Amino acid sequence: MHRSSRSTPSLLRGSLALALALTVPAACGDDGPAGETEAGETEAGETTEDPALEHLVFLSPEDHLVRVSMALRGVRPSLAELDAVAADPDALGGIVDEYLETPEFGRTIRDMHNESLLSRVDFAIPPAGFLPKGAIAGENLYDLNVSVMDAPLRLIEHVVLNDKPYSEIVTANYTLADGVAATVWGLPYDGDGDSWELSSWPADRGNAGILSDSWLFQRHSSTIANANRGRANMISRALLCQDFLSRDIEIDAGVNLADANEVADAVRVNPTCVSCHQTLDPLASFFSGYFPEILPQVEPYPIDFYIGNLFFDVYGVNMRDPNYYGAAGETLGDVGAFIANDPRFSLCAVRRFYGYFHQLPIADVPQDTVYSLQRSFIDSGLDAKALIRDIVLADAYRVSHAEAPEGEEPPELPPGLGLKKLRPVQLAALVDELTGVQWRADVSDFGFGTIDLVEDGFVGFNVLAGGIDGYFVTHPTHTYNPTASLVLRTIASDAANYVVEHDYAIPDAERDQRRLLTEVGLQDTSEAAVRSQIVHLHARVLGERVAPDSREVDETLELYAAAYADGGNLTNRAWKVVIAAMLQDIKVAFF
């Protein structure tokens, strides 16, 4: 057992410094991690002098690969990839580069940015609830609204996957649209209806990426009296990690909040109010062209959601001149450029990426870690893939757990280190890839269509599995609870039943066409054959390589034998029990 020969940072003091030290990217191309080890050991087996690291245990290269694959794609690494990393831990870096080019990684990027923009909400009610009518009358309600809500997330996915500077999410002169989004908003579109293609908003919105997106500002609606302040704070919170609502202020009880004129005066002259509003209100003025909100059920397509200076000229709201923290501007393109050049933008991006992959609130990301990663991020030209690579290949991302000498309590891990909980989007991808099951419900009788039960939070179980609904539940849950366990148990049972029936429909001579039962004849109950199949299942489902005579295989074999005997000597029932149990294993719930 040994760890990287790379020198360990010294003089760590406390959890914050420890997390910082572990975040320095591992040089997997040269001398990356070579096995599961206790921190404090060198490649030669010598312990370091740093007591802050002595209780940490790192993942083996194979387990590190599993964690990275799950985090980036939501699926297990292939058997060939597991073998490659077992033979040469330095192969991990190249495999990660391949993962960063996959569609599954794009899905992860959308999921991550949904947590900050809260773009996806209940599909059937306002602010969503767009109806099938006109040119898209044949669409079902669920898919239609998902397309509308996904548009800003698709733009960000395009920027990241195509190696564009991350700042382009607020400076792009294009958007992404499928046939539905293009019809709803009246955008140019030259595709087959299902494909997401490059398009553009009208020229009066400027080059502002997601800041030009109508859905984003329908989702984060305003009132005339609020004058886009909530929208401005959403942008500040999501892109700058500056939430005006988190500031500690003492409300002046002398201000009559029921009097609109008195409130309007207070935000200009009352010192308590001015502390926020002197920057918030001018930022809000950049979004004065967006309608406060619409009722999508009654709007004909295409919807014109933007009229320049609407709040100033039509509603007559006495808003301040557009201004970005002291810099004057006029258009959405101006504020997009201001944000892109603001150091807080790259700093916030680092916080969000690190927090997402470490399942850590952005406020808890160690400051020094953020500054170190921000420098690398800027030096890379704001390359989001490079930033993610630095995060997932760092020592911090391969921490397994902490151990203590016998008789002592294990020390508590610094925040964000250790096991990661399976997210709903990862659960859906994993089950689909292993078994072919997309957990969906046909509710066409109610006009909804077919709903993804894992990713949806209105009819489906996204929130119960630990996700968000974007409106009432805005922070994911990274600890396991009874509802998450029930979701996993139910989908595991359904998936096991389906995949065994699928594989039993394929004869032994064509077993390579099966999904999971590729190593055994369907009626072969010999111990050698069953053990061989169990070894394969451990690798495919749990991402672990085990020997046929290992304790893990012995235990799974006992389960198989009990299910076989209890179920009337039916091999298909025995395999259903085994696969259902594996899909509920702790190594699926966490990685």
Q: Is there a domain that residue 239 lies in?
A: no
What does pLDDT average to over the chain? 89
CB neighbours (10 Å) of residue 581?
Answer: 17
The whole-angstrom separation of Cα 325 and Cα 232 is 12
| Angle in degrees, 0-180, between the axes of helices 571-583 and 527-542, rounded to the nearest 10 | 30
Share of residues in the chain with pLDDT > 70 (%): 86
Q: Is there a domain that residue 341 lies in?
A: no
Residue-level pLDDT at 414: 86
Q: Is there a domain that residue 537 lies in?
A: yes
Q: Within 13 Å and on the Cβ side, how many CA atoms surround 303?
A: 23
Last residue of a domain, one of 186, 219, 252: 219
Name, of 37-41, 204-208, 523-527, the range with top average pLDDT.
523-527
pTM metric for this prediction: 0.88
User: What secondary structure does DSSP assign to 152-188, as a single string?
Assistant: HHHHHHHHHHTT--GGGGTT-S-EEE-HHHHHHHT--
Domain region containing 139: 119-219
pLDDT in tens, 108-148: 999 999 999 999 999 999 999 999 999 999 999 999 999 99
The number of folded domains in the chain is 2
Residue of 283, 290, 284 whose CA lies nearest to 221 = 290
Give the torsion through C-alpha atoms of 315, 321, 324, 327, to 10 deg. Answer: 160
Assign 267 a pLDDT band (cuts: 50, 70, 90).
low
CA dihedral (300, 306, 311, 312) positive or negative = negative
Mean pLDDT calculated for residue range 246-255: 67
For the chain, the C-alpha Rg in angstroms (whole number) is 27
Q: Is there a domain that residue 69 lies in?
A: no
Q: Which residue has the tokens 């111990």?
A: 527
Q: Is there a domain that residue 497 lies in?
A: yes
Last residue of a domain, one of 219, 246, 275: 219
CB neighbours (10 Å) of residue 545?
Answer: 15
Q: Is there a domain that residue 480 lies in?
A: yes
The whole-angstrom separation of Cα 527 and Cα 310 is 75
> Where do the H-state alpha helices sit in 101-164?
103-117, 141-161
The whole-angstrom separation of Cα 457 and Cα 428 is 14
Residue of 164, 173, 175, 215 whose CA lies nearest to 198 = 175
Name the amino acid, one letter, at 445.
D
Residue 27 has pLDDT above 80, yes or no: no
Q: Is there a domain that residue 185 lies in?
A: yes
CB 146 within 8 A of CB 470: no
Q: Which range has the worst mean pLDDT, 234-243, 261-270, 312-321?
A: 261-270
Mean pLDDT calculated for residue range 378-402: 97
The whole-angstrom separation of Cα 366 and Cα 47 is 26
Last residue of a domain, one of 199, 219, 239: 219
User: What secondary structure does DSSP assign to 437-456, as a single string?
Assistant: ---EEE-GGGT--EEETTT-
Mean pLDDT calculated for residue range 507-528: 97
The whole-angstrom separation of Cα 249 and Cα 244 is 10
CA dihedral (477, 479, 481, 484) positive or negative = positive
Q: Is there a domain that residue 431 lies in?
A: yes
